[in-house]
Amino acid sequence: SADLKLLEEATISVCKSLVEKNPRTGNLGSLIKVFLSRTKELKISAECQNHLFIWQAHNALFIICCLLKVFISQMSEEELQLHFTYEEKS
């Protein structure tokens, strides 16, 4: 619990910046898409003992969880939806 509080305090400025810019950039959605596309490789990596890939997947999931916690606690459902409906402008 104390470590979680320290983590939240240390990352609040990054999270606020992402909340502000994400509707234009779609970075959170991109991170989630990349993570989901790479999950198929996790089983193979575990069998091959590819610890680097497993470590990267773990970190990506940890970042997603931390960001979603901030997003959910600070936004309405409508605002949250904007962060997942990014469409690239041509």
Q: Does 88 map to a domain?
A: no
pLDDT at 87 (0 to 100)? 63
pLDDT for 13-31, tens place per residue? 888 888 888 888 888 888 8
pLDDT at residue 90 greater than cutoff 60? no
> What DSSP character marks residue 58?
H
pLDDT for 63-86, tens place per residue? 898 888 888 888 888 888 877 775
Q: Does 87 map to a domain?
A: no
Q: Total domain count for the chain?
A: 1
Helix (H/G/I), strand (E/B), else coil: 51: helix
Q: Write out the residue range of the structural domain in which residue 27 sits.
A: 2-82
Q: Is 18 within 8 Å of 30 (Cβ atoms)?
A: no
Q: Does 8 map to a domain?
A: yes
Q: Does 90 map to a domain?
A: no
pLDDT at 72 (0 to 100)? 86
